[in-house]
């Protein structure tokens, strides 16, 4: 889902049963439209539903009523038993409904309905893997918590009714097992509405019945596995705009838009881009997951979009929102996060896909701008991308953390792997037989990544998914001649101390501009203070850390020779790098032609190496000190020329 956010002000109403912390309030982001205000926090986290059953099928027959707004429902749920000797089950259903009847395999059974749970006594004992059908009839006013689970509203004087269940709102309009972890194999949604309105849902429209009483029933059939929260309805006086995605020489799929008549003309240009975006994502992620059915948009009254399976509900039609919700069909709908802690697998992927669309459609400049913007948002993220607190809707859907930083983690992975392997990973992940049309965790994505790269990536996922923050690099460098046109760059990377992890492990690209050529060298930075030696052709002129902006970071890069203010007198410089292992460079200067010694002493004053002992002309020199044979510790180096002496300290860390 994609939503516009606003800073929480005093205008938002809270129900008395909500509890919240100040921290949650500060982080709160949600959407609103006119006087309609969405409650920010999940009212009751029924999650994760009854674990003694496996859902096979949801069949909804709903009728909506206006003035007053309410619904009646007949819902059929087919379940398979996954626990021995099952006597009772429960489904999650809002207390606001009155349940009139529950049948198990056509037999009336007793039930209780409290705490938003419908507890049902089965008609007999069921054994493992047996299936049974539950038919539930209920009526009442749906709930509107979260992002507004089921909303009656208006546009231009006409009714519009929509559902938006994610994350905890499904049970506010139909009985379900309230967890994304358990997909039904298929679903049907039949909706009876006043004849002037059009009801839209998942899958294919298989029939429209005129009931002869100024109502019509729209029958939608979905034949793919579906998570409960991706089942949707959208109802209004829609203008239907049908286009086609020609995905092969001979095959096409309907792409159909249900738009408020008054908005169609202004939206048409962006709606027509849906086909191009489908082509881009098909190329990068593989075949559209619901190719036998459709893709579509249903306009609704909230601000943003929600990726209901095969039919995104849309409050806005910017091209990035269209791209975001469409990308969710692969990442969110085909492969669904198993729990809300792993919501970045939905939102980080859909957000990064906005960038993939911009890169393919508009080119690199637009993509780079997008990445810079997302990085700035990602830097504001607090806490781990793995959502620690799923009791709060605003915490799960925290934009900076779940969306922006989640997206930038994919960008960093792409930086490490390169484009070819990255898109192989994305295709492999969403086509794995045990993940496709099923659910996944971060570990499943890590395994898919490692399968393509054929190497462990634990360091990457641990620090970026379960850790917090991002690295701050302090980079210093200088160079000395290394024979002929070669020069040796001494590169020192120091990371500021951090909580979790203490420092970040990342391959870092270094672009080196020399008098002869430009090169990019990748160093593997896996220590808080680390020195590298790089041999280049030509005189080094500039070093750029992470030239393609792959890493979420702050960095300063300094050529220490530029800042050295060498006086015009006898001078001994601080060795660089320092601390070092095992080679460092010492700069020094003499103003008269004279006999020079440069010697290294240990902590006790014992000479360990003579670096220079000869007659030298006046000038500035760089001398290398190789401490391979010495042990870690503090050493001193001393320069003598004429009657002048200077001593400095250096630190060898092995």
| Eight-class DSSP state of 58 | E
CA 257 to chain centre: 27
Helix (H, G, I), strand (E, B) or coil at 408: helix
CB-nearer residue toward Zn ion: 2 or 488: 2
Residues 296-335: x where in contact with Zn ion by CB under 5 A, - otherwise, as a string: ----------------------------------------
CB of 55 to Zn ion, least distance (A): 23
CB-nearer residue toward Zn ion: 94 or 312: 312
CB of 290 to Zn ion, least distance (A): 17
Q: The tokens of 108 are what?
A: 């009336």
Is residue 147 within 8 Å of 169, Cβ to Cβ? yes
Q: Considering the rule CB under 5 A, would residue 393 count as an interface residue with Zn ion?
A: no
CB of 304 to Zn ion, least distance (A): 8
Q: The tokens of 86 are what?
A: 């099952």
Tell me the residue length of the chain: 654
Q: Which span (8-16, 341-349, 484-492, 641-649) binds Zn ion, by CB under 5 A?
A: 341-349
CB of 313 to Zn ion, least distance (A): 12
Torsion from C-alpha of 192, 197, 198, 200, nearest 10 degrees? -70
CB-nearer residue toward Zn ion: 284 or 492: 284
| Separation of alpha carbons 332 and 318, rounded Å | 20
DSSP count for the chain of H helices, then E strands: 11, 39
Q: Considering the rule CB under 5 A, would residue 1 count as an interface residue with Zn ion?
A: yes
CB of 9 to Zn ion, least distance (A): 24
Residue carrying the six token digits 């208006």: 154
> What values do phi and psi take at 265, rounded to 5?
-60, -45
CB-nearer residue toward Zn ion: 1 or 40: 1
| Eight-class DSSP state of 401 | I
| Separation of alpha carbons 295 and 204, rounded Å | 10
CB of 231 to Zn ion, least distance (A): 17
CB-nearer residue toward Zn ion: 347 or 444: 347
CB of 172 to Zn ion, least distance (A): 20
> What values do phi and psi take at 374, rounded to 5?
-65, -35
Q: Which span (18-26, 40-48, 346-354, 473-481) binds Zn ion, by CB under 5 A?
A: 346-354
Strand partners, 73: 62, 138
Q: Which span (144-152, 347-355, 498-506, 634-642) binds Zn ion, by CB under 5 A?
A: 347-355
Strand (E) positions, 420-482? 438-440, 472-481
Q: Which span (8-16, 168-176, 339-347, 449-457) binds Zn ion, by CB under 5 A?
A: 339-347
CB-nearer residue toward Zn ion: 86 or 350: 350
Binds Zn ion by CB under 5 A, chosen from 99, 193, 226, 350: 350
Q: Considering the rule CB under 5 A, would residue 227 count as an interface residue with Zn ion?
A: no
Half-sphere exposure of 268 (CA within 13 A, CB side): 10
Q: Which span (207-215, 241-249, 342-350, 634-642) binds Zn ion, by CB under 5 A?
A: 342-350
CB-nearer residue toward Zn ion: 148 or 573: 148
CB of 44 to Zn ion, least distance (A): 24
Strand partners, 585: 576, 624
Q: Which span (136-144, 260-268, 349-357, 376-384) binds Zn ion, by CB under 5 A?
A: 349-357
Q: The tokens of 126 are what?
A: 């069921």
CB of 3 to Zn ion, least distance (A): 8
* Nearest by Cα to 618 from 582, 642, 602, 599: 642
Residue carrying the six token digits 């000479």: 607
| Separation of alpha carbons 223 and 211, rounded Å | 26
CB-nearer residue toward Zn ion: 326 or 508: 326
CB-nearer residue toward Zn ion: 2 or 428: 2
CB of 305 to Zn ion, least distance (A): 7
CB-nearer residue toward Zn ion: 167 or 577: 167
* 171-200 residues near Zn ion, rule: CB under 5 A: none
CB of 175 to Zn ion, least distance (A): 26
CB count, 10 Å around CB of 446? Answer: 18
| Separation of alpha carbons 648 and 508, rounded Å | 32
Q: Which span (292-300, 350-358, 394-402, 639-647) binds Zn ion, by CB under 5 A?
A: 350-358
CB count, 10 Å around CB of 592? Answer: 11
Is residue 76 within 8 Å of 57, Cβ to Cβ? yes
Strand partners, 153: 160
CB-nearer residue toward Zn ion: 99 or 322: 322
Number of amino acids touching Zn ion (CB under 5 A) = 4
CB of 357 to Zn ion, least distance (A): 14
**DSSP element (H, E) containing 231:** none
Ranges of H-type helices in 119-167? none
CB-nearer residue toward Zn ion: 280 or 343: 343
Residues that bind Zn ion (CB under 5 A): 1-2, 347, 350
């Amino acid at each position: 889902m994609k939503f516009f956010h606003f800073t929480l002000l005093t205008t938002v109403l809270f129900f008395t049963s909500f509890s919240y912390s100040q921290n949650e309030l500060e982080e709160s982001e949600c959407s609103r439209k006119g006087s309609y205000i969405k409650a920010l926090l999940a009212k009751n986290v029924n999650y994760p539903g009854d674990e003694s059953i496996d859902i096979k099928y949801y069949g909804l027959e709903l009728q909506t009523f206006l003035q007053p707004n309410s619904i009646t429902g007949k819902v059929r749920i087919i379940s398979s038993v996954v626990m021995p000797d099952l006597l009772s089950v429960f489904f999650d259903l809002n207390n606001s409904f009155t349940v009139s009847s529950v049948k198990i395999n056509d037999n009336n059974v007793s039930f209780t309905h409290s705490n938003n749970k419908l507890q049902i006594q089965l008609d007999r004992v069921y054994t493992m893997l047996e299936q049974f059908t539950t038919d539930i009839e209920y009526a009442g006013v749906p709930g509107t918590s979260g992002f507004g689970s089921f909303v009656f509203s208006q546009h231009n004087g006409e009714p519009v009714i929509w559902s938006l269940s994610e994350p905890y709102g499904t049970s506010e309009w139909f009985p379900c097992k309230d967890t994304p972890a358990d997909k039904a194999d298929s679903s049907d949604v039949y909706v009876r509405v006043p004849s002037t309105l059009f009801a839209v849902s998942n899958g294919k429209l298989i029939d429209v019945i005129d009931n002869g009483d100024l109502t019509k029933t729209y029958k939608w059939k979905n034949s793919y596995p579906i998570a409960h929260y991706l089942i949707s309805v959208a109802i209004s006086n829609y203008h239907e705009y049908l286009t086609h995605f020609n995905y092969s020489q001979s095959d096409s799929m309907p792409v159909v838009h249900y738009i408020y008549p008054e908005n169609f003309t202004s939206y048409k240009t962006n709606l027509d881009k849906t086909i191009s975006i489908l082509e881009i994502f098909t190329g990068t992620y593989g075949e559209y997951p619901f190719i036998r059915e459709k893709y579509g948009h249903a306009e609704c009254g909230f601000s943003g979009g929600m990726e209901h399976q095969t039919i995104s509900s849309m409050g806005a039609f910017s091209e990035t929102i269209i791209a975001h919700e469409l990308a969710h069909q692969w990442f969110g709908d085909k492969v669904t996060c198993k729990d809300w802690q792993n919501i970045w697998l939905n939102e980080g992927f859909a957000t990064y896909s906005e960038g993939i669309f911009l890169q393919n459609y508009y080119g690199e400049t637009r993509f780079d701008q997008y990445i810079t913007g997302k990085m700035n948002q990602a830097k504001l993220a607090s806490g781990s991308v793995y959502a620690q607190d799923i009791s709060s809707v605003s915490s799960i859907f925290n934009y900076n953390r779940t969306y922006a930083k989640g997206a930038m983690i994919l960008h960093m992975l792409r930086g490490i792997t390169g484009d070819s392997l990255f898109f192989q990973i994305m295709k492999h992940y969403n086509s794995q037989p045990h993940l496709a049309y099923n659910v996944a965790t971060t570990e499943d994505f890590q395994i898919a990544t490692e399968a393509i790269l054929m190497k462990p990536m634990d360091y990457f996922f641990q620090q970026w998914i379960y850790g917090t923050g991002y690295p701050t690099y302090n980079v210093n460098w200088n160079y000395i001649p290394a024979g002929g046109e070669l020069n040796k760059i001494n590169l020192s990377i120091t990371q500021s101390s951090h909580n979790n992890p203490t420092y970040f492990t990342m391959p870092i690209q270094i672009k080196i501009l020399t008098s002869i050529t430009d090169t990019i060298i990748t160093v593997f930075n896996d220590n808080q203070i680390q020195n590298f030696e790089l041999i280049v052709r030509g005189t080094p002129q500039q070093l750029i850390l992470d030239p393609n902006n792959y890493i979420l970071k702050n960095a300063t890069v300094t050529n220490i020779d530029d800042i050295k203010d060498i006086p015009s007198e006898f001078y001994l410089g601080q060795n660089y790098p320092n601390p070092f292992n095992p080679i460092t460079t010492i700069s020094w200067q003499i103003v008269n032609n004279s006999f020079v010694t440069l010697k290294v002493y240990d902590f006790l004053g014992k000479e360990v190496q003579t670096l220079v002992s000869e007659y030298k002309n006046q000038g500035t020199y760089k001398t290398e000190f190789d401490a391979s044979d010495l042990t870690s510790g503090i050493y001193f180096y001393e320069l003598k020329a004429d009657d002048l002496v200077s001593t400095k300290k250096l630190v060898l860390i092995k």
